[in-house]
Structure 1
Amino acid sequence: MNRNNENYTFLFVTLGLLTAFGPFVTDFYLPALPALADYFRSSASMAQMSLTTGMFGLAVGQVFIGPISDRYGRRMPLLVSMAAFIVATALCIVAPNIYLFNLLRLFQGFTAAGGIVLARSIATDMYTGNELTLFIAMISAVNGVAPVVAPVVGGMLLDFTSWKGTFVQLLLVGAALLVLCSQVRESLPVARRSARGVLSAFAAYGKVFRNPKYVAFLAAYASSMLVLFAYISASPFILQQGYGLSPLAFGLCFAANAVGIGVGCAVAGRFADSYRGLRIGGGASVFMAIVTAAALWMKAPIAVVEPAFFLLMFAFGMIQPAGTSIVLDCERDNAGAASAALGASGFLMGGIVSPLVGIGDVFVACGAAVLLGAVSTAGFIRYACRRWPAA
């Protein structure tokens, strides 16, 4: 696709919003977690479990939807996913108890996954190499808008409505995206689609995971998501309960840190060599993880912890565009499965780390998790880049 095409801007905005959909579904109601626990008269851990089930839904949904899109194209699965998301969100609003709510969050995450995996697949269908890295960097920057807007708006809404109001807003966002997606053209011609049946289409996962280069760079990407989700799941309790911030103030801090991700993505897009940008991002992530962990373990003032979080998210943002494009470039013939495994790995990491950072002292657990994630990320990046240097 030529960048001068009149549909370029529309495609860029639409795909950017779709990739932001997962973070938006996750982040929008973060300030409402305490209110959610009060409404259902449940423990904080049960309310936090809705975050975990949503992430698992986002992971599993991508695993299923990616190969289906390789067989039937991108457009129809995208429209079905968005329509189903609207239904799932409506059901969350009327859930009678926390147990059914958490189950419905799994369904909501599953349906939202379509937008995430298919946005990356559409981009991979249309771009290659550094052009793909640049496009992904651009939509990743748009992706940074969702975490900026979501918790701030969510926190503001809590002054006027209950947690249900935030889910009504999610439903409206889903409806708007469905309208936009109806205008997206099919990016995978029939001639390039998998000739296998639906069930056999899942055999594509065997192919992508037999590619050692794909697996190595995927491991680096997945490890980086440990850092992100440790921060996401722990920050409401660190900033609201630990430092006494209001939901709105927490949302503003969360938004500022999300800006760090967007700026990091934008900076990464300026590197002509994706591999070099990835290595620099990995090193920066380790350095900031050490600083952040030390600040948390010492329970430093918020004036120290908040800038540390910001710079940690900046380093995370530097890793994402290059890491994503290199992984997807490894398996262009199975872009749907490759994109699905990429997305699923991240949200699986989130589902695993979210409850763990709630064990014991959240300051200690969060610091340990971000440090483990950053060191693992840098180690995998170093190994993969040395074995498969840029051509």
Structure 2
Amino acid sequence: MTATPVTASTAAEGQREAVRREAGKAPLGLVLILGSLSAFAPMATDFYLPGLPAMAADLDTRVSLVQLTLTVFVIGLALGQLVVGPLSDAWGRRRPLLTGLVVYVTGSLVCVAAPTVEVLIAGRVIQALGASAAIVLSRAIVRDLYSGTTMTRFFSTLMLVSGAAPVLAPVLGAQVIAVSHWRVVFGVLVLFGVVLLIAVALRLPESLPPARRQEARLLAHLRRYAHLLRDLRFVAYIAIGGLMFASLFVYISSSPFVLQEAYGFSVREFSLVFAVNGAGIVTAGQLNRVLVGRFASELRLLGLGVVVGVAAVLTVLVAVVQDWTVAVLVAALFPAVAVFGMVVANATSLALAEHAASAGAASSLQGMVQFLTAGVAAAVVGLAGEGSALAMALGMTVCMGLALVVLVVLVALSGGGSSRPRRAPRRAASR
């Protein structure tokens, strides 16, 4: 017999398996850490929204300038991910992630102490650049460790932590604002960042071995982006995920005004609706984890989620136009929001499946599309009237309808339903 040479690829796979075993010692801890990292954006964007009027009064400035703190944060998130993702493909995940968490905590501290709205805006930019690392690298780490339906199930499991955050963050922020100062909200975000920084430093090993890293030069980054954008399936998956996120963002930004001002909900009633819809996202994510690979493929579950979402938002639209009871409106909003847990888990898994070597760059593009699409959709609906139920319903319907159009094109590209038409033979590494 002759000895089998140990190549760079087999050594890298051995290190990958060792990292997976290390992470597998505490799967709940891994889910909590990565879920919390992926929840950075909704925590930092929605948590302080109830305090906007108080912030404008305290800083003696216009409301529009305080609202600018949300705009610059979304832009910072989108642009920051474009830089962090490719760098992590070259340097590994831990170093950019730890650096990003330090930057996030620093930006949050600037917001806590901001004497003027200009300093507050600067703090939000710093905060966004740091948060972008947490968002993009949480997805890239999952792709490093898992593949196939195992990866999809893990993304679904992350919804236990991250799925409810976009919906529950404003409710929790309102409770903090009700009993304290708006600066305390940013203090809570400082604490959130510090806890995650410690958790990552102590409990999250490096997931990208040196043998699997890419070039760090700018031209190499641009080539990776060009390669990703030539993959029409990848573009379709991130477009569907972005449009779904945009629909959710329209709901988050509009429903406080619609339900409380147009339909007369009390703060407690509104908080209850938000909480129930948050539970719907988590439930849909867990249902997806059970179904994927056993009863249906990722693409079929993705399609099911989009179709259910379209039917739900059309019901919302008809309920508003026909002036049906608010009970019908609230009931239709539940599936319209809940399908986020199913659609985004499958869209993310399918988008990253064929790009293990560029998982950071692929995750960057996905995040940028999500936040830019959501920001534009929310801004357009806001211009049409934040308190308008019709504007909210139309915004959600347009986003879902466009997702359905992309889905139809995607199914045609995929030959009618194969969820991973170009997947290489699966390695026996995933657990």
TM-score bucket of the superposed structures, by smaller chain: over 0.9
Matched AA of 1:314: A
**Counterpart for residue 39 of structure 1:** 58
SS of aligned partner of 1:359:
helix
**Counterpart for residue 59 of structure 1:** 78
CA distance in 2, matches of 1:163, 1:238: 24
Distance 1:147 1:214, change over 3 A: closer
Offset of 1:253 from its aligned partner? 2.7
**Counterpart for residue 394 of structure 2:** 368
**Counterpart for residue 165 of structure 2:** 146
SS of aligned partner of 2:383:
coil
Between structure 1 and structure 2, the one with the greater Rg is 2
CA distance in 1, matches of 2:123, 2:22: 40
Distance 1:294 1:43, change over 3 A: farther
CA distance in 2, matches of 1:301, 1:130: 41
> How many pairs align?
391
Offset of 1:172 from its aligned partner? 0.5
* Alignment of structure 1 residues 21-170 onto 2, 5 Å: 21-147=40-166, 149-170=168-189
Matched AA of 1:379: V
**Counterpart for residue 8 of structure 2:** none
**Counterpart for residue 313 of structure 1:** 337
Offset of 1:99 from its aligned partner? 4.2
* Alignment of structure 1 residues 1-391 onto 2, 5 Å: 1=20, 5-147=24-166, 149-183=168-202, 184-197=204-217, 200-245=220-265, 247=267, 249-269=269-289, 270-272=291-293, 273-298=297-322, 300-361=324-385, 362-388=388-414, 389-390=417-418, 391=421
Query: TM (normalized to structure 1)?
Result: 0.93
Offset of 1:252 from its aligned partner? 3.5
| Bigger mean CA offset, 130-139 vs 358-367 | 358-367
Deviations 1:25-68 (A, max 9, x none): 12212322333343345555444333222222221111111001
Is the Cα contact below 8 Å between 1:148 and 1:256 reproduced in 2? Answer: no
| Bigger mean CA offset, 1-10 vs 336-345 | 1-10
Distance 1:52 1:239, change over 3 A: farther
Is the Cα contact below 8 Å between 1:19 and 1:119 reproduced in 2? Answer: yes
Deviations 1:220-253 (A, max 9, x none): 2222222111112112222333334455554443
CA distance in 2, matches of 1:3, 1:326: 25
Percent of aligned pairs with the same amino acid: 33
Distance 1:197 1:268, change over 3 A: same
Distance 1:199 1:244, change over 3 A: farther
CA distance in 2, matches of 1:370, 1:135: 27
Is the Cα contact below 8 Å between 1:297 and 1:363 reproduced in 2? Answer: no
Query: TM (normalized to structure 2)?
Result: 0.85
CA distance in 2, matches of 1:145, 1:219: 22
Offset of 1:266 from its aligned partner? 1.5
CA distance in 2, matches of 1:227, 1:140: 17
Is the Cα contact below 8 Å between 2:75 and 2:372 reproduced in 1? Answer: yes
SS of aligned partner of 1:358:
helix
Is the Cα contact below 8 Å between 1:260 and 1:314 reproduced in 2? Answer: yes
Considering only aligned residues, what root-mean-square deviation do their CA atoms show, in Å?
Answer: 2.2
| Bigger mean CA offset, 263-272 vs 144-153 | 144-153
Is the Cα contact below 8 Å between 1:229 and 1:349 reproduced in 2? Answer: no
CA distance in 2, matches of 1:16, 1:277: 21
Mark the runs of 5 or more structure 1 residues left unpaired by the alignment. Answer: none
Distance 1:383 1:265, change over 3 A: same
| Bigger mean CA offset, 220-229 vs 74-83 | 220-229
CA distance in 2, matches of 1:81, 1:187: 17
